[in-house]
Amino acid sequence: MTNHVAVERSPKAAANNPLITIAGLNKVYSSKKSSFEALRDIRLEIERNEFLSILGPSGCGKSTLLRIVAGLEDATGGEIIVDGIHVVGPGADRGMVFQGYTLFPWLTVRQNIEYGLKLKGISMLERRAISSHYLRLIKLESFANVFPKQLSGGMKQRVAIARALANRPKVLLMDEPFGALDAQTKIDMQEMLLEVWEKEKTTVIFITHDIDEAVYLSQRIVVMGSHPGRIIADHRVQMDYPRSAEVRENADFLSLKRKCSALLKH
Amino acid sequence: MANVEVRASKQMPRRRRPVLQIYKDIPQMTFTILSLSSFATIIVLWYALCLLEIVDPIFLPTPHRVLQELVYQLSTGAYWHHIGISVFRVSSGFLLACIVAIPIGIFAGTFKIGEAFIEPPMEFIRYMPAVAFIPLIMVWAGIGESAKILLIFIGTFFQLVLMVSAITRQVSVDLLQAAFTLGATRWQAIETVLIPAIKPNLMNTLRMTLGWAWTYLVVAELVAVNSGLGYAIMKAQRYLNTDQIFVGIIVIGLLGLMSDRIFAYCNRRFFPWV
């Protein structure tokens, strides 16, 4: 229901505002014996169509932050506004790609991509057209009627991206989606993701602990530190798209990598 | 090259792989042969016991005597009537248990409130032997069909609830969360994720529980009945017709095997994605 409201109100309410505002966000896990501060005072504004990476060491709370934006976890304090609407719980306006494989094993590739559309009650013909478009985009047309168990890890993540995008979310949340892939597949996936992002012009928040990945993909990198999880730097990446593989040898690229690496060492 | 290989194989002591390797696959053919030969072993041992007259033939008839009796019994209408009534009792008791237990199990597995409210009494009751309920069942339901069906129900229902709730709880949280981020409501998540996800395990659970249902059927048919396979076995015992007892047991075994194969077929047919 909230999705409908958001769609109708968004053009007027938030035309010039950032798409996503995260304000004073805190997260404390507390039990009877102890409490653990996972996130402290996170403030972040994300523009429309921006490709933002959140880079941080493991355990810094970057995934928790993303999950709070997705609505899968509640914050202890602060607020998140997506396109003029307060985030309460998960919704189709914030699509997510998880690190683990989360395709529905009982649905074929095409049915997986159409899952969200079907929930929305979109007609079969329209669903077909949309899923075909995304199958082409991720170059898996010939795997449309195959079950996920027959796909490789990289293919599964491509389908997961297509499934999230087919829903036309306002933002695509990616939680270390390529973390489990081998080095070469990871690079292929990064190139494919940029291609898709440029064509679809969606907003992306990408969580990673891989500096190279963050610099290669993003327009902007937010670096987080741990204990408690907080933002320690916010860098723009001044490189044009499309980015070829050679970008990785570029002086700007390397200096930014060094900068991030120095930040992560603390 | 060839020379080197030959010399290597001559001089180097070759370590042979052991036959028994943990989890290691064996050829399909070997598997089938082994399975068949285990049946053959049983029959050979059986014959040995009979021919060497270690056991009195009154207590242990020969395999071919049992086979003859099996063929004879299956040619009579009366035996098919026993089979029919037994199958009817098992399937009604079992179906009834499924219809009630599956939704309750899913509810208990999905919501903590359900788990808290439903599971503790089920855990308690399931340790009560269903057979001990027989006197009570006879008081409640008499000695008619409903008494047999009720016993099978009691024997399978509580286990089924707990098993269904356990498999529901096993569904990956990631799949549910993926559904939520794709816009699923709570009920849609149950309908489009939880239920499809548990189906294959559910089939296996039913397959197992059906086996227990047959056990309870025989127990139910040992008391105050005049039809059914359990009754046929009891009657044979009265006249010391051990061959007929064997026939009854084997027929129940065959029926169990058939239903098991049907379940296995359905699993492959309906859940190709597993």
Question: Which pLDDT value is given to residue B4?
Answer: 54
- Give residues with Cβ within 8 angstroms of B49, minimum separation 6: B55, B60
What one-letter code names the amino acid at A34? S
Give every strand in the sheet of A85-86, ordered side by side. Answer: A35-46, A20-30, A77-82, A85-86
Pairing of strands A230-236, A220-225: antiparallel
- CA B110 to chain A, closest CA, distance in angstroms equals 17
**Cα A196 to the center of its chain, rounded Å:** 13
Record the tokens describing residue A138, joined without a space.
Answer: 């991720």
* Cβ neighbours of A119 in B, within 8 Å: 182-184, 188, 192
Q: pTM for this one? A: 0.85
**Which spans in chain B are helix H?**
2-11, 28-51, 63-74, 77-110, 112-126, 134-141, 145-169, 173-181, 186-189, 195-221, 229-238, 242-270
Among A192, A238, A182, A183, smallest CA distance to A215 is for: A238
Record the tokens describing residue A94, joined without a space.
Answer: 């914030």
* Cβ neighbours of A160 in B, within 8 Å: 178
- CA A73 to chain B, closest CA, distance in angstroms equals 10
Put simply, the chain A residues between 147 and 176 with a CB less than 8 A from any chain B CB are 147-149, 160, 163-164, 167, 173
Question: Which pLDDT value is given to residue A142?
Answer: 96
Question: B197 CB near a chain A CB, below 8 Å?
Answer: yes
Question: Which pLDDT value is given to residue A212?
Answer: 94
Question: Per-residue pLDDT for B40 more than 50?
Answer: yes
Question: Per-residue pLDDT for A9 more than 60?
Answer: no
Question: Which pLDDT value is given to residue B134?
Answer: 87
Scan for tokens 């049992």, then name that residue: B66
Residues A68-103 have pLDDT tens digits of 999 999 999 999 999 999 999 999 999 999 999 999
Question: A59 CB near a chain B CB, below 8 Å?
Answer: no
* A139 confidence band (pLDDT: 50, 70, 90): very high
In degrees rounded to 5, what are phi and psi of residue A208? -155, 160
B42: left (phi over 0), alpha (psi -120 to 50) or beta: alpha
Lowest mean pLDDT among A249-263, B47-61, B248-262: B47-61
The mean pLDDT of B38-60, rounded to a whole number, is: 90
Question: Per-residue pLDDT for B9 more than 70?
Answer: no
Residues A26-56 have pLDDT tens digits of 999 988 888 899 999 999 999 999 999 999 9
Question: Per-residue pLDDT for B5 more than 80?
Answer: no
Cα atoms in the 13 Å half-sphere on the side-chain side of B49:
15
* B11 confidence band (pLDDT: 50, 70, 90): low
- CA B201 to chain A, closest CA, distance in angstroms equals 13
Contact state of A98 with B183 under an 8 Å Cβ cutoff: no
Substitution target from B182, B268, B273 for chain A, most A beta carbons within 10 A:
B182
Query: How far apart are alpha carbons A34 and A209 in whole angstroms?
Result: 27
Residues B69-96 have pLDDT tens digits of 999 999 999 999 999 999 999 999 999 9
* Cβ neighbours of B192 in A, within 8 Å: 115, 119
| % of chain B at pLDDT higher than 70 | 96
Closest B-chain CA to A3:
B183
The mean pLDDT of B113-127, rounded to a whole number, is: 92
Question: B180 CB near a chain A CB, below 8 Å?
Answer: yes
Among B43, B89, B68, smallest CA distance to B247 is for: B68
Question: Per-residue pLDDT for A12 more than 70?
Answer: no
* Cβ neighbours of A122 in B, within 8 Å: none
* B13 confidence band (pLDDT: 50, 70, 90): confident
* B54 confidence band (pLDDT: 50, 70, 90): confident
**Cα B112 to the center of its chain, rounded Å:** 30
Contact state of A106 with B199 under an 8 Å Cβ cutoff: yes
Q: Are B214 and B250 within 8 A, CB to CB?
A: no
Question: A177 CB near a chain B CB, below 8 Å?
Answer: no
Question: Which pLDDT value is given to residue A31?
Answer: 86
Question: B184 CB near a chain A CB, below 8 Å?
Answer: yes
Residues B196-253 have pLDDT tens digits of 999 999 999 999 999 899 989 988 888 778 899 999 999 999 999 999 999 999 999 9
Contact state of A115 with B181 under an 8 Å Cβ cutoff: no
